[in-house]
Amino acid sequence: TGGTTARRNIEEARADIARFIGAGSTGQILFTSGATESIALAFASISREATQIVTSAVEHSAVLAASKRWANGRPVVSIPVNSEGLLDMERMQIALGHAPSFVSLMLANNETGVLFDISSAAQLCRQHRAVLHVDAAQGFGKVPVNVCELDCDYLSLSAHKFHGPKGCGALYVRRPAQVQPIFPGHQESHLRAGTENVVGIMGLAAAARVLADWPKHVGLIAEPRDQLEHSIITSIHGAVVNGHTTQRIASISNISLPHTSAADFVVQLSRRGLQISSGAACSSGRQPSHVIIAMHNDPLRAESSLRFSLSRFTTREEIAEAVHIVTQTYHHAALPRFDTPA
């Protein structure tokens, strides 16, 4: 019957995702409506023993919102990053020594692509008996993701970040018995009720299968990314790349252009056929990026930061075209400037 086929498709997808991320059992994979819901479910499952929440200053808004919603009176400690976007491990250690913690850290940053050293953070979490959730929405498919190597308790995924359908995600749970469902009911082993998004789940697994040879894809993206950055930096005086030069994924490039309002600039670029964003792709772009502020404490640098997205389908010709549009617009469009260019 259709129901049996649907069930089989879902369970095949679950087994594949479990295998791809190194989960010990298929019961540790729950399908959700996306990383936002996966993150919320991890936060909703915070145990009473955890008396503080620890996150970083550069997390996605989904984590920042969940840490407020599920704090239930617990203090939320925000660990700073340095100017390269890397986590301050000393502050992390001090925070974890303070109280039993629920920790949420992103694998790759959605605005800069910078990778946190999750394995080192996980070691600290283990020493201090903290529970660790990893938001791998951006990292999955760009770097190897293995829940045993990362040594995490929860891990969130989002299908549309690796060419899967929008509105579908997954949550890895080390100990399913500890999950406190937001939607109670019988589906997903009683941990996430509601008729399953069968097509979404199949799409998520299909997209993940394509990533099996991820190193080939990553190598393909780094070259056009470097070409993009090199060309913009050499043709716009004062343009700077935000984020660590090597410890990052290749599909995101974040560049600040001097004296420019990124929010106005992206509108101009869009009219010329180039779609990029200022700040997080999902935010309105009118707020200066909290990520660049956390790295540089410089509102002008944050307001002038552009986020370029590349994929394994981006061609050298498209990069050359993008560079042309950016430099032409920068040098010739009538744009409001912060102050007179030097």
Q: How far is the CB of 168 from ligand PLP (least distance, A)?
A: 8
Phi, psi of 285 (to 5 degrees): 85, 0
Those residues whose C-beta lies under 8 Å from the C-beta of residue 172, and which sit 6 or more positions away, are 21, 23, 28, 29, 147, 152, 154, 155, 156, 157
Question: Helix axis angle, 316-332 relative to 262-271, nearest 10°?
Answer: 120
**Do residues 104 and 39 touch, judged by C-beta distance below 8 A?**
yes
125 flagged as catalytic = no
CB of 107 to ligand PLP, least distance (A): 8
User: Based on CB atoms, which residue is closest to ligand PLP, 110 or 289?
Assistant: 110
The residues of the shown chain that bind ligand PLP, judged by CB under 6 A, are: 34-36, 60, 62, 106, 110, 135, 137-138, 158, 169, 282
Query: In whole angstroms, what is the distance from residue 325 CA to residue 334 CA?
Result: 14
- Least Å distance, CB 342 to ligand PLP, is 35
Question: Which sign, positive or negative, has the C-alpha torsion 139, 140, 143, 149?
Answer: positive
Q: Which is nearer to ligand PLP, 138 or 231 (CB)?
A: 138
| Nearest CB to ligand PLP, comparing residues 112 and 138 | 138
Nearer to ligand PLP, 241 or 249 (CB): 249
3-state SS string for the chain: CHHHHHHHHHHHHHHHHHHHCCCCCHHHEEEECCHHHHHHHHHHCCCCCCCEEEEECCCCHHHHHHHHHCCCCCCEEEECECCCCCECHHHHHHHHHHCCEEEEEECECCCCCEECCHHHHHHHHHHCCCEEEEECCCCECCECCCHHHHCCCEEEEEHHHHCCCCCCEEEEECCHHHCCCCCCCCHHHHCCCCCCCHHHHHHHHHHHHHHHHHHHHHHHHHHHHHHHHHHHHHHCCCCEECCCCCCECCCEEEEECCCECHHHHHHHHHHCCCCCECCCCCCCCCCCCHHHHHHHCCHHHHHCEEEEECCCCCCHHHHHHHHHHHHHHHHHCCCCECCCCC
- Quick one: 252 or 323, whose CB is closer to ligand PLP? 252
Cβ 110 to ligand PLP shortest distance, Å: 3
Q: Which is nearer to ligand PLP, 138 or 305 (CB)?
A: 138
Shortest distance in whole angstroms from residue 52 CB to ligand PLP = 22
Nearest-approach distance from CB 58 to ligand PLP, in angstroms: 10
C-beta closer to ligand PLP: residue 42 or 46:
42
| Residues annotated as part of the active site | 282
